[in-house]
Amino acid sequence: GVALLPVLMFERELRQGRLVCPFETGIVTGAYWLTRLKSRPQGAAMTAFRDWLQGHAAGM
């Protein structure tokens, strides 16, 4: 699998050799995106998760 996330979130796993960084190049965007398929309607579970996530992020 591949994860496109901040390296800081996985420093321990990288040091332990449990994960590897396949590229030396990194970028900092300062943002996260919650996405979904436009071909599928947004259900109640997705709405609840989005609202929960936004609520917790606002408190940071």
1 found inside a domain: no
28 found inside a domain: yes
53 found inside a domain: yes
24 found inside a domain: yes
Range of the domain at 14: 7-58
Residue type present at position 31: A
Per residue in 11-44, pLDDT (tens digit) is 899 999 998 888 887 777 777 778 888 899 999 9
> In Å, how far are 3, 19, 34, 57 from 31, measured between CA atoms?
15, 23, 10, 11
What distance, in Å, lies between the first and last C-alpha atoms of the chain? 29
Mean pLDDT over residues 36-60, rounded?
88
52 found inside a domain: yes
25 found inside a domain: yes
2 found inside a domain: no
Please count the structural domains in the chain. 1
